[in-house]
Amino acid sequence: MSDARRVELDELWESIPILSPTQGMQFLKVIVKGIHLLDEEEFPGDADNCAYDVCAYHSDWVSVKYWTHFTYLTRVAEDRTRAAEVHGFHLNPKSIPMSGQEDPKKFTRIRV
């Protein structure tokens, strides 16, 4: 089962560069699926670190807060030095590069 999950993870991660921030809903679904697979593998990876970028791109500040908090908790568990970066984004979501560049869209239904 672990081998099958890892193959699926590889396929998911390979699809991410093909997806653009304008495909926000599809992009976030891939991220959430990856998070679940990593959780099953008992590996809290950085699968979530792209999610807040997509939400910021579409000015969904509620979802940015959710994903920056989620990412912060994951990074604290992994590497405290990388957690500070995302904590700053949580405090000031509009400081995320590319924020607000696309028409507003809500992604509040997409959660882990």
Note the pLDDT of residue 44.
65
The pLDDT of residue 11: 92
Q: Is residue 90 within 8 Å of 57, Cβ to Cβ? A: no
What pLDDT does residue 8 have? 94
- Each residue's pLDDT tens digit, 37-94: 988 888 766 656 678 999 999 999 999 999 999 989 888 877 777 788 889 999 999 9
26-30: average pLDDT:
90
Q: What is the DSSP string of 11-80?
A: HHHHHGGGS-GGGHHHHHHHHHHHHHHHHHTT---GGGGGHHHHHHHTT-HHHHHHHHHHHHHHHHHH-H
Q: Tokens representing 91?
A: 């405090």
